[in-house]
């Protein structure tokens, strides 16, 4: 058990040192029941997003798009802060963009 505890502490320290933030994105059905979820790691130092499946995307500030997902990058209005704001906006059961947009990101 000690090993698991120290691993958790190490991971938390790395998140702090590397200026990372984790957001759990949750998809809900029309009745408000959770149907899908995934943890996203935002590395604000490197301006990257790590998906639940481990894929890494560079985050590009581009005001031409609300968001545009490409093979290795995500263009989003407001850059990293804009993507975090988008995730926080859509991450509620009553959001009109949930589950379509939440599932889109969770399945990357």
pLDDT band at 42 (very low <50, low <70, confident <90, very high): very high
3-state secondary structure of 27: strand
Q: What domain range is 71 assigned to?
A: 21-106
Quick one: average pLDDT of 37-54?
91
Token couple for 51: 């998906």
- pTM for this prediction: 0.78
Which DSSP string do the residues of 65-89 spell out, in sequence order?
-SEEE-SSEEEETTHHHHHHHHHHH
- Structural domain includes residue 89: yes
* Distance in angstroms (rounded) separating the CA atoms of residues 58 and 22: 16
Residue 55 is assigned to a structural domain of this protein: yes
* pLDDT on residue 10: 52
Residue with tokens 């859509």: 90
State how many domains the chain has.
1
Average pLDDT score, the chain: 86
């Amino acid at each position: 058990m000690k090993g698991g505890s120290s691993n958790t502490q190490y991971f938390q320290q790395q998140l702090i040192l590397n200026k990372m933030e984790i957001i759990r994105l949750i998809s809900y059905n029309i009745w408000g029941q959770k149907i899908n979820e995934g943890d996203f790691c935002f590395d604000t130092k490197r301006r990257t997003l790590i998906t639940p499946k481990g894929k890494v995307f560079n985050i590009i500030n581009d005001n031409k798009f609300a968001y545009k997902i490409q093979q290795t990058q995500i263009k989003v209005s407001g850059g990293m802060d804009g993507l975090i704001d988008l995730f926080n906006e859509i991450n509620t059961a009553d959001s009109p963009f949930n589950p379509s947009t939440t599932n889109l990101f969770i399945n990357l």
